[in-house]
Amino acid sequence: MDSQFVRQEIYQLIETLYPICRSITGDGFRESMQILKEHIPLELHEVPTGTQVFDWTVPREWNIRDAYIKSAAGEKVVDFQKSNLHILNYSVPYQGKVKSAELKEHLFSLPEHEDWIPYRTSYYKENWGFCLTQKMLDSLSDEEYDVFIDSSLEDGFLTYGEFFIKGELEDEFLISCHSCHPSLCNDNLSGMGVATYLAKHLSQKKNRYSYRFLFIPGTIGSITWLSLNEDKISKIKHGLVMACVGDSGKMHYKKTRRGHAEIDRAVTHVLKHSGDDYEIMEFSPYGYDERQYSSPGFNLAVGNLSRTPHGRFQEYHTSADNLDFVKAEKLADSYFKYLAIINVVENNKKYLNTNPKGEPQLGKRGLYSTVGGRKDASDYEMSLLWVLNLSDGEHSLLDIAERSGIPFSSIHNAANALLDCNLLEKVPG
Amino acid sequence: MDSQFVRQEIYQLIETLYPICRSITGDGFRESMQILKEHIPLELHEVPTGTQVFDWTVPREWNIRDAYIKSAAGEKVVDFQKSNLHILNYSVPYQGKVKSAELKEHLFSLPEHEDWIPYRTSYYKENWGFCLTQKMLDSLSDEEYDVFIDSSLEDGFLTYGEFFIKGELEDEFLISCHSCHPSLCNDNLSGMGVATYLAKHLSQKKNRYSYRFLFIPGTIGSITWLSLNEDKISKIKHGLVMACVGDSGKMHYKKTRRGHAEIDRAVTHVLKHSGDDYEIMEFSPYGYDERQYSSPGFNLAVGNLSRTPHGRFQEYHTSADNLDFVKAEKLADSYFKYLAIINVVENNKKYLNTNPKGEPQLGKRGLYSTVGGRKDASDYEMSLLWVLNLSDGEHSLLDIAERSGIPFSSIHNAANALLDCNLLEKVPG
Amino acid sequence: MDSQFVRQEIYQLIETLYPICRSITGDGFRESMQILKEHIPLELHEVPTGTQVFDWTVPREWNIRDAYIKSAAGEKVVDFQKSNLHILNYSVPYQGKVKSAELKEHLFSLPEHEDWIPYRTSYYKENWGFCLTQKMLDSLSDEEYDVFIDSSLEDGFLTYGEFFIKGELEDEFLISCHSCHPSLCNDNLSGMGVATYLAKHLSQKKNRYSYRFLFIPGTIGSITWLSLNEDKISKIKHGLVMACVGDSGKMHYKKTRRGHAEIDRAVTHVLKHSGDDYEIMEFSPYGYDERQYSSPGFNLAVGNLSRTPHGRFQEYHTSADNLDFVKAEKLADSYFKYLAIINVVENNKKYLNTNPKGEPQLGKRGLYSTVGGRKDASDYEMSLLWVLNLSDGEHSLLDIAERSGIPFSSIHNAANALLDCNLLEKVPG
């Protein structure tokens, strides 16, 4: 897919998903998965309320139809229909007159950004509430307000989407996106969009690894998946948690708990040679679902690759994380960087130099300049020499790329040329 | 003990010890140990002259009563009664008229500090001599002087003090202070003072490790102790040589010969999080008694924690290392830093996360905020998450503190909270 | 040999070798070896054309007597007799009139240095050609030229010189110099000159290691030697490829493929303590014959020690790499640095402290100051203490020099003094 096409497609998908009020359960999440199914053959799983998943229990399903705060004059001063961020996500149903002082205990605003609505949740403690701009809050002068929340919190299901692409190997590459946020674009619609198009692309080609895409509610979703799929976990060899991939910031990679996994090295290599600024961060047990994949009982090689990481942009978890905040070209850039990383992991094999004693004579095979005496070898000649020198069965192509400082793609090309002349052979197994 | 109290007490102990003329043997050393016995139940050992201790022999016991140089006019131009630094420590008895030229071969001064008396010794070569200020030296104009040294160098004993505090474990933490210097405050009265109060404090509480405090003459003392206690040496798991802990300089830690021992990491961690400037130095086989503990036949994990290290302050081994040079508040600061280090070593255990698959649900145990969506976890939440994530039986609390960058005390508190909810359990053994 | 003598001798040898037209085979190479034989008892080997050496075949022998390009007016505009660089090295015989346009396809010049003749070769593809200055090229205005190349390319031999100096051990130190370049001074006459004098020096003394000096044609020579001497290869424990050791630049060391071999550490140590600027470079599979010694089938501990490395000076492979470009004092400096490195490797042994428990009493053996109390130990005392502390059978003298920061020569002296008092003993085997 060319860059221009990718830009438009991913951005349009995000536009479609934007208005829906998602949560960790409920119809908003289901509806979003149905939209993704128009692009990839997503399998939807429904896990009943009450299912025990490790230390957690699948919660009741939450749905919301309407909610508002009405002034004494009958004006809706806060209205869910205008922004689904206005409702404290997972608010229990409520209806009644509330004194201003009591009401304010149920209101959340951002004094430092007086025009922005914050996003707040109360999944695991029954509560009701509204999120509103500081300006709205400051204008509440009545003694009493009419509060109306038409929601339900009942036994039902936790929904998640899964797409498995079988590869040559049973070993898996996991890409996990939380998909539970309402109208927030960078976190998490950008991840859902890029992951969908990545899945679409990979499903149309032959891959060495199998790929598993998860579109799940944050925390409870990954815990649920891990709990219901313990038999599959040992097959996950590499993984990336994807979120916040549409803003204008540079790429940030948070390493796996292991710290030097192949995925850590592949991401670092691609970012280092990308020509763009980037930052590599050490693992920490805070963040997105890598927290669960990296728990000590699993310790999976799953990192987190974002543009600006969660919590580090002002718009994070506010109404300002909107369709203007994500950029089509940044989504495409993230998409191509993920692809480049996958390309490294797919092709990171070890080879054996079939003429390990001395250099083979490259000139007679047309791989080396015939006029001698010049100052430098060409870049291509250097790639050939590095691959030959380190192809002792111990070094993978990524090892060679790292040690030589040459981009993986050049090393990979050189290896292919050497394979073609039988100067290299595959390491069996 | 509060800081104010510690300051006064340690400083007063140093004041009491200051006037005594100590050496590596003799009554000055014994008298000093008796003063320490008023604070801690020190056991005194007397090792006879001639005892073979590895490559060394316990020397004859030295005592001194008086010494002076008298001018032709009968004036005592150098007088031991005015400062015990005036005598070359271990001077043999001498009495007689000495020509000025010959006398000068027995005199030691400091041209670069003309008002200071240097401290010099001749333990292992029979000699007599005087130390005096450069001004005194320059004023000696007589042709001949009366020299009088009323000392004795006879078979006797080498004395040292030892205090052992039995802990839960047989494994030991060694604190070693050389105590052989005459009227010098930072080197070594400051160490004797801080160590005495540290011993007093530890003897009043329950400890995991056993603690052994040694108040010994430098070099020959540690060699003697090691030689007579070879059966105990393998129990020493951690150790610190204490000296020069009362001056105004920043803390300096010289690492053990091993370089990455637990004590090295504990000291580094405490200094790093102290908020004060500090310096970590590599091991070198020069310095104080860590030289002996680190000899290749023992290679003990014994570092050296000082303020300004030996030889790095101008007042070192001169009369200017006096009661003004050490500060009560610096003595107290050193005391509390030693305590913090001991606290790390005492509590540096490994635990097992009892819910290692995914995170446990902290919210339902009151350990996590119930309103979700905020940018950052609290510091306390981060400590909990780090302890859970790394408590796989492999990582100690210090490992976790180091990797997370969080102070040990916070990590320790978090571990205790998690133990209380049974989310953590002790690693057996 | 004193420095002044070394300067003159090496430089004079280079002057003698300079006019000869060498190549990878032929009489120019043989004649050069005969000149070296006047200094060292070099053994000459003649390997027949067609001999298979790994992936390569020994080429036909090339000799040249004369070559020129004559203008229509009968003037020799390019004349081999004026500089042997004028001929494309390994040019096949040719005679005839050549149109200007066709001729220019056989001409090589350097537009960026219009007065310099480049050095170009065509060993493995039959071709003829001339190298000339840009000015010469620009002045060629005739339509047709007379080309004459009186060379021969016939079955014969590849010649190389070898000098083996038997040491106490069968383990070998390899010094390898390519010797195939015509009138180029820094690359490679400087290496031939310094290596010859190094060999001469080593042959006159008793050595622990055996030394093997190779004077070989580049690439094909090392491949040939390796192929014909596979039984000897495992004995090579250390090696240096020597070239470009006469220019005015600082020393550059390219590490072995292993990266932390003893030779890497010895060279780094000597350069670090030399007082001169230097640069340590990582291994790369480009350069001189270390490419062959470092091929994965051998992976020998062979580094490359130069002044300015190949390709990094403008004069490289041009007529400007002449007798003015190399300096007698730089040749001598390189010689003495090589000697210092050999001295480290020769004496880098492990010892055992015979009194490993505590320090031995150095004072009674006259190795330590008898007056105590001074600030610092002397440098000599520090060397003694370091050697005693680390001589546990695990640390070599180079390990001790590296850890202490003290020059190897001081550590070596201290070890000898301790051996003399039986405070140290040799580790058997």
pLDDT tens digit sequence for B135-191: 999 999 999 999 999 999 999 999 999 999 999 999 999 999 999 999 999 998 999
C-alpha A226/C-alpha A223 separation (Å) is 5
Chain A residues within an 8 Å CB radius of B355: 54-55, 297
- Least Cα distance to C251 among C175, C185, C303, C193 occurs for C303
Residue B231 has pLDDT above 90, yes or no: yes
Does the beta-carbon distance from C385 to B297 stay under 8 Å? no
CA end-to-end span of chain C, whole Å? Answer: 33
Amino acid in the structure at residue A406 = I
Residue A387 corresponds to which tokens in the numbers above? 């691959």
Distance from chain centroid for Cα C391: 34
Q: How would residue B255 be classed by pLDDT, with cut points 50, 70 and 90?
A: very high
C-alpha B244/C-alpha C393 separation (Å) is 34
| Global confidence as pTM | 0.94
Does the beta-carbon distance from A389 to C296 stay under 8 Å? yes
- Least Cα distance to B34 among B198, B222, B196 occurs for B196
Calculate how close chain B gets to A118, using CA atoms only, in Å.
Answer: 8
Work out the average pLDDT over B336-352: 98
Angle at alpha carbon of residue B110, lines to B105 and B116, rounded to 5°: 120
Dump pLDDT digits (tens) for A236-248: 999 999 999 999 9
C48 at B interface, C-beta within 8 A: no
pLDDT given at position B186: 97
Chain B residues within an 8 Å CB radius of A176: none
pLDDT given at position B6: 85
H-state helical runs in A18-150: 27-37, 100-104, 134-138
Which H or E run includes B264? helix B262-272
ipTM score here? 0.95
Q: CA-CA distances (angstroms) from residue C183 to A419, C98, C313? A: 40, 27, 17
Strand order of the sheet with strand A302-306? A43-48, A157-165, A210-216, A172-178, A236-242, A302-306, A251-254, A278-281
C361 at B interface, C-beta within 8 A: yes
Q: Considering chain C, what percentage of its residues have pLDDT values greater than 90? A: 94
C259 at A interface, C-beta within 8 A: no
Other chains touching B, judged by 3 or more CB pairs under 8 Å = A, C
**Selected residue with higher pLDDT from C312 and B3:** C312
Mean pLDDT of chain B: 96
Calculate how close chain A gets to B370, using CA atoms only, in Å.
Answer: 6
Does the beta-carbon distance from A373 to C118 stay under 8 Å? yes
pLDDT given at position C375: 77
pLDDT given at position C1: 60
C-alpha B277/C-alpha B275 separation (Å) is 7
C-alpha C127/C-alpha A289 separation (Å) is 65
Distance from chain centroid for Cα C13: 15
C-alpha A121/C-alpha A181 separation (Å) is 10
Dump pLDDT digits (tens) for A366-392: 898 877 888 778 889 999 999 999 999
Work out the average pLDDT over B208-231: 98
Residue B428 has pLDDT above 90, yes or no: no
Calculate how close chain A gets to C298, using CA atoms only, in Å.
Answer: 6
Calculate how close chain B gets to C364, using CA atoms only, in Å.
Answer: 8
Q: What SS3 class is residue C139?
A: coil
Dump pLDDT digits (tens) for C93-118: 999 999 999 999 999 999 999 999 99
Q: How would residue B340 be classed by pLDDT, with cut points 50, 70 and 90?
A: very high
**Selected residue with higher pLDDT from B370 and C429:** B370
Contact map slice: B 103-162 vs C, CB within 8 A: 108, 118-125, 127
C-alpha B409/C-alpha B426 separation (Å) is 18
Is the backbone of residue A334 left (phi > 0), alpha (psi -120 to 50) or beta? alpha
- CA-based Rg of chain C, rounded to a whole angstrom? 26
C-alpha A98/C-alpha B314 separation (Å) is 75
Does the beta-carbon distance from C297 to A353 stay under 8 Å? yes
Q: Considering chain B, what percentage of its residues have pLDDT values greater than 90? A: 94
Which residues of chain A fall below pLDDT 50? none
Which H or E run includes C158? strand C157-165
- CA-based Rg of chain A, rounded to a whole angstrom? 26
Chain A residues within an 8 Å CB radius of B386: 284-285
A173 at B interface, C-beta within 8 A: no
Q: How would residue B4 be classed by pLDDT, with cut points 50, 70 and 90?
A: confident
C-alpha B127/C-alpha C343 separation (Å) is 43
Query: Are the CB atoms for C352 and C391 separated by under 8 Å?
Result: yes
Question: To which residue do tokens 């192809």 refer?
Answer: A391
- Angle in degrees, 0-180, between the axes of helices B191-203 and B3-17, rounded to the nearest 10: 130
Residue B54 has pLDDT above 70, yes or no: yes
Strand order of the sheet with strand B94-99? B76-79, B61-70, B144-154, B94-99
Chain A residues within an 8 Å CB radius of B353: 295-297
Work out the average pLDDT over B54-69: 98
B291 at C interface, C-beta within 8 A: yes
pLDDT given at position A136: 96
Calculate how close chain B gets to A317, using CA atoms only, in Å.
Answer: 7
Q: How would residue C378 be classed by pLDDT, with cut points 50, 70 and 90?
A: confident
**DSSP codes joined into one string, B199-240:** HHHHHTS--SSEEEEEEE-TTHHHHHHHHHTGGGGGGEEEEE
Residue C3 has pLDDT above 80, yes or no: no
Work out the average pLDDT over C322-350: 98
Dump strand ranges (E) for C283-417.
302-306, 350-353, 392-396
Residue B401 has pLDDT above 70, yes or no: yes
Asked whether the CA dihedral B206, B211, B212, B214 is positive or negative, the reply is negative
